[in-house]
């Protein structure tokens, strides 16, 4: 997403170089959405897919629409096929490996949307279905209509609400978990500079920001003892939550990409996991993410 919106101006050629570097490092899953830059992100990825499609598991999403009229949710079943066809054209591919409902549309029963998505699987345009930011009930309802391969929601050391009900529901149904913002929009990697996406998040404001920066110091101290970066420690913590967890850290920077990818080789001990739990327990982080995410169309993992 950051290659198209949310974190200031981006350079397409630099972004493309970072994407090529990702494949060289063994990254195989690339995640985009029709809403990222109002189609720009999918068109950017098409330049990579044109020559390296076979190396990529391609995920994209629909349901958040950005256009001249603003940003809105739309998951009406009559328009699902059209959104998919538009993504296929922008991406320059015949098939999407993993197609997500980006957000459940409160105006449409999730079962109706998933039913329309299932027709895309039958038509051969999509291989697997996913859903982003559902409630546990919506996730179960979706899975009752068609197999759901993945649920994507925010999950990291600094936001762990997903553990209460969504993760147990996903595991009961055999659905993989794809945490977006696994580095807390950068804070867990020590990146706290101003950016449009961060500036709208109350966790980056005022006293909450200061509290969270203090906790970041605890994470950094533990990381330094292990000889890794705080971002790598945060990603390794997520990977330690289960083999069904596949975090998707975003970056525009090739060096940061290499750092993130190397986190896959870090195996935390039970002692280290316990120490993290003590140093930065889930209730210690400050700020109401839900007030930010409640707007749905503005919080887009």
Is residue 83 flagged as an active site residue?
no
Residue 178 neighbours by CB under 8 Å, 6+ apart: 31, 130, 150, 151, 152, 153, 245, 246, 247, 248
pLDDT, tens digit, 9 for 90 and up, residues 74-107:
999 999 999 999 999 999 999 999 999 999 999 9
Q: Would you say residue 7 lies in a domain?
A: no
Q: How far apart are CA 213 and CA 188, in angstroms?
A: 9
pLDDT, tens digit, 9 for 90 and up, residues 211-250:
888 888 999 999 999 999 999 999 999 999 999 999 999 9
**Domain count along the chain:** 1
Q: Would you say residue 259 lies in a domain?
A: yes
Residue 101's beta-bridge partner residues?
62, 131
pLDDT at 10: 84
Q: Would you say residue 300 lies in a domain?
A: no
Residue 150's beta-bridge partner residues?
130, 176
Q: Would you say residue 127 lies in a domain?
A: yes
The pairing of beta strand 70-73 with beta strand 64-67 = antiparallel
Segment 177-185 mean pLDDT: 93
Q: How far apart are CA 151 and CA 212, in angstroms?
A: 27
Q: How far apart are CA 199 and CA 193, in angstroms?
A: 9
Catalytic residue (one of 36, 83, 180, 204): 36
Q: Would you say residue 298 lies in a domain?
A: no
Does residue 182 contact residue 234 with C-beta atoms inside 8 Å?
yes
pLDDT at 176: 98
Q: Would you say residue 244 lies in a domain?
A: yes
pLDDT, tens digit, 9 for 90 and up, residues 157-177:
989 999 999 999 999 999 999
Supply angle C-alpha 265, 300, 85, rounded to 5. Answer: 100
End-to-end alpha carbon distance in the chain: 8
Domain housing 63: 12-293
Q: How far apart are CA 72 and CA 256, in angstroms?
A: 32
Does residue 231 contact residue 263 with C-beta atoms inside 8 Å?
yes
Q: Is the pLDDT of residue 197 over 80?
A: no
pLDDT at 290: 62
Q: How many other C-beta atoms are found inside a 10 Å radius of the C-beta of residue 207? A: 9
pLDDT, tens digit, 9 for 90 and up, residues 34-59:
999 999 999 999 999 999 999 999 99
CA 86 from centroid of its chain's CA atoms? 21
pLDDT at 298: 45
Q: Would you say residue 161 lies in a domain?
A: yes
For the entire predicted model, the pTM comes to 0.91
- CATH number of the structural domain spanning residue 74: 3.20.20.100
Residue 73's beta-bridge partner residues?
64
b/e per residue 220-229 (b: at least 16 CB within 10 A): bebbeeeebb
pLDDT at 292: 45
Q: Would you say residue 268 lies in a domain?
A: yes
């Amino acid at each position: 997403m950051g290659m198209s919106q949310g974190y200031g101006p981006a350079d397409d050629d630099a972004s493309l170089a970072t994407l090529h570097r990702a494949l060289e490092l063994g990254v195989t899953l690339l995640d985009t959405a029709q809403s990222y830059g109002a189609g720009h992100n999918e068109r950017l990825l098409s330049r990579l897919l044109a020559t390296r499609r076979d190396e990529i598991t391609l995920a994209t999403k629909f349901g958040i629409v950005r256009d001249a009229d603003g940003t809105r949710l739309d998951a009406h079943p009559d328009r699902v096929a059209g959104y998919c066809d538009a993504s296929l054209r922008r991406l320059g591919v015949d098939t999407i490996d993993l197609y997500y409902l980006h957000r459940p549309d409160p105006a449409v029963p999730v079962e109706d949307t998933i039913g329309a998505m299932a027709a895309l699987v039958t038509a051969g345009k999509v291989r697997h279905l996913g859903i982003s930011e559902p409630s546990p009930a919506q996730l179960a309802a979706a899975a009752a209509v068609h197999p759901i391969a993945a649920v994507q929601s925010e999950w990291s050391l600094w936001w762990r609400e997903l553990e209460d009900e969504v993760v147990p529901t996903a595991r009961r149904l055999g659905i993989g978990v794809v945490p977006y913002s696994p580095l807390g929009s950068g804070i867990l990697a020590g990146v706290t500079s101003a950016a449009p996406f961060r500036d709208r998040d109350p966790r980056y404001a005022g006293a909450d920001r200061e509290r969270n920066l203090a906790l970041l110091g605890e994470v950094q101290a533990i990381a330094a003892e292990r000889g890794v970066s705080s971002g790598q420690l945060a990603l390794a913590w997520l990977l330690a939550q289960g083999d069904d967890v596949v975090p998707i850290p975003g970056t525009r920077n090739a060096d940061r990409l290499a750092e993130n990818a190397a986190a896959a080789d870090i195996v935390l001990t039970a002692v280290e996991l316990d120490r993290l739990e003590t140093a930065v327990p889930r209730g210690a982080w400050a700020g109401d993410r839900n007030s930010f995410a409640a707007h749905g169309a503005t919080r887009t993992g």
